[in-house]
Amino acid sequence: MIWHPSPNFGPRRDGLRPRFIVLHYTAMGSAAEALARLCDPSAEVSAHYLIDRDGTCFQMVDEEMRAWHAGAGAWAGLEDINSRSVGIELVNTGAEPFPWPQMRALEGLLPGIMARWSIGPEGVIGHSDMSPARKQDPGPRFDWRALARAGHALWPEGQGGEGDFGSSLDRIGYPPAPPEDRLAAFRARFRPEGAGPLCEKDTRRAACVAQAYDTNRRAPA
């Protein structure tokens, strides 16, 4: 871990503590570019961690503090996600796979954060999950299934289920947004092979995912 402090942070509001971990991509070509922006006072953005393609990990903000990574959005009915989360940026342009050293470093970083703040796998989300009308990261190239196999995210393997698509997304945690944005965010996360208009496969997959989130949120900490 390389300490590379950013001035862009503040106290978590109203005594809030992290309940989520939000994953991002930088949409930049290099870690140097990303660090420069995330540590630029005029940019007013930051994250707690940045992971380079080769697995090098930088910490910019102490986890106790509120980094400025999430912006407007909500998850599971909760707002001010900055005060409720730890933010992790992954160096990626958005048009490339996430290399194995980077994913391995992420899998090494997550357990400690999850243990320190009692965050279950259902609390690890993407930026596009909490802000589907504004954001697309970490995008359909991110391997959520691999992260779930390591116990660091949810990826139900089933495809079957019954229910209204919008209601299922509400149960999962997606905030209100135009239907096409919610569909795109859901597919990027849970059905990256999906394309075209909403279909039965989306509806059945969403119902299956919603059931998994219901079950995990009821499970004892």
Q: Summarize pLDDT for 179-212 with one digit per residue, the tens.
A: 999 999 999 999 999 999 999 999 999 999 999 9
Q: Exposed/middle/buried for 203, CB within 10 Å: 0-12, 13-18, 19+?
A: middle
pLDDT of residue 22: 98
pTM beyond cutoff 0.85 = yes
Question: What is the arithmetic mean of pLDDT over 156-162?
Answer: 80
pLDDT of residue 219: 62
Question: What is the arithmetic mean of pLDDT over 103-107?
Answer: 98
Tell me the pLDDT band of 221, cut-offs 50, 70 and 90.
very low
Tell me how far apart the alpha carbons of residues 64 and 77 are, in angstroms, rounded to a whole number.
23
Instruction: Write down the CATH superfamily of domain 2-218.
Output: Peptidoglycan recognition protein-like (3.40.80.10)
> pLDDT (tens digit, 9 = 90+) per residue, 66-96?
999 999 999 999 999 999 999 999 999 999 9
Domain boundaries, the chain: 2-218
CA atoms within 13 A on the CB side of 139: 15
Cis ω for the linkage preceding 138 (within 30 of 0)? yes
> What residues are annotated to the active site?
89
Across the chain, what does the average pLDDT equal? 96
Tell me the pLDDT band of 218, cut-offs 50, 70 and 90.
confident
DSSP string, 180-198: HHHHHHHHHHH-TT--SS-
Higher-confidence residue of 212 and 162: namely: 212
